[in-house]
Each structure stands twice: as C-alpha cells, then as structure tokens.
C-alpha cells in the first residue's frame, strides 16, 4: 500500500482590486466574488490533499511583505497579482528571492486586452501561467501547481 501523500501547504495571493470581484466590471471579470473563488479553491485543494491560505491586498508593499513571509510556510504559491503583474519588478524580485514555485493566474486573457497588459514581469519566473478562463483559471492553476509539486 502506497503511503498517503504529504499535505501540501499552498499560499494564494490576490493583488489589487480583486476584493471587488463580483461587482467590478462584470462584463470582463464576471459576477463571481473573491470569497466564492476561494471556497471553490479550498474544496478542490482538500480533495487533492492540499491546504490553502489566502491573502489579498491593494498595496504593493503589503503583498511583498506577505511573499517574504511565505518562505518556510508554503511549498507553492498561486499568484494573481492583478495589474501589478504588468508593473511590479519589486513583486517579481520578492517571488524570485523566496524560491517558492508559483503559478501566475489571471481571470481575463491579458493578451486579448490593452497592449500594456501583454507583458508580465512574473511569467518568466513562474512554473506556469493560466489566463482567460475566469474563475476556472484559479482552479486550473491550482491543479497544475499541485501536479508540479507532487512530481517534485
């Protein structure tokens, strides 16, 4: 009989304006709230033997502090940096510094939007990138991250 896999600890980072999901530009982001996304993620993670911890902030420095505090607490991160994915070298540097594998997720497809959204400062240091599937982007990203960590 194979041993039970160790419970993975995964941090989920939500960047600026994601607290407004459900009411913010529903034509782009849908009507699903951040709490609903987190509930779905939590259930999916539990089914795969993972525990999630969520964090959201509208402040770049606070997000960086959280990333720095993640070292030793999490085996992986799921990161939706929102608009900071396109602007924050400092957030990228923090993610590189902690050496925790992460998957970048976006609800919309940045490559089908404004040109300034087509560059991510995170994508080339991420394990993977999932975008354009609405809330399903988070679930697909989680699935990929867990598979990556288990293959480890």
Query: What residues are labeled active site?
Result: 29, 106
Q: Is the dihedral of CA 122, 135, 66, 86 positive or negative?
A: positive
Distances (CA, A) of 104 to 25, 27, 126: 21, 22, 6
Q: List 104's β-bridge partners, or say none.
A: 79, 129
Residue 104, token pair as written in the block: 């970048």
Instruction: Compute the radius of gyration of the chain from its Cα atoms.
Output: 15
Q: List 71's β-bridge partners, or say none.
A: none
Kind and range of the H or E run holding 94: helix 89-98
Q: Which residues contact 76 (CB under 8 A, 6 or more apart)?
A: 8, 10, 11, 100, 101, 102, 103, 127, 145, 146, 148, 149
């Amino acid at each position: 009989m194979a041993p039970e896999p160790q419970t993975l600890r995964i941090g989920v980072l939500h960047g600026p304006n994601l607290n407004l999901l459900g009411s913010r530009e529903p034509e782009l982001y849908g009507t699903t709230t951040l709490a609903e996304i987190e509930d779905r993620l939590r259930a999916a993670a539990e089914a795969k033997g993972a525990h999630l911890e969520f964090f959201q902030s509208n402040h770049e420095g606070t997000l960086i502090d959280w990333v720095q505090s993640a070292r030793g607490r999490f085996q992986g991160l799921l990161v939706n940096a929102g608009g900071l994915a396109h602007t924050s070298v400092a957030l990228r540097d923090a993610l590189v510094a902690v050496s925790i594998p992460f998957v970048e997720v976006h609800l919309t497809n940045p490559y089908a939007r404004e040109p300034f959204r087509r560059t991510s400062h995170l994508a080339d240091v991420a394990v993977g990138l999932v975008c354009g599937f609405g809330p399903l982007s988070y679930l697909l990203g989680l699935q990929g991250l867990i598979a990556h960590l288990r293959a480890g």
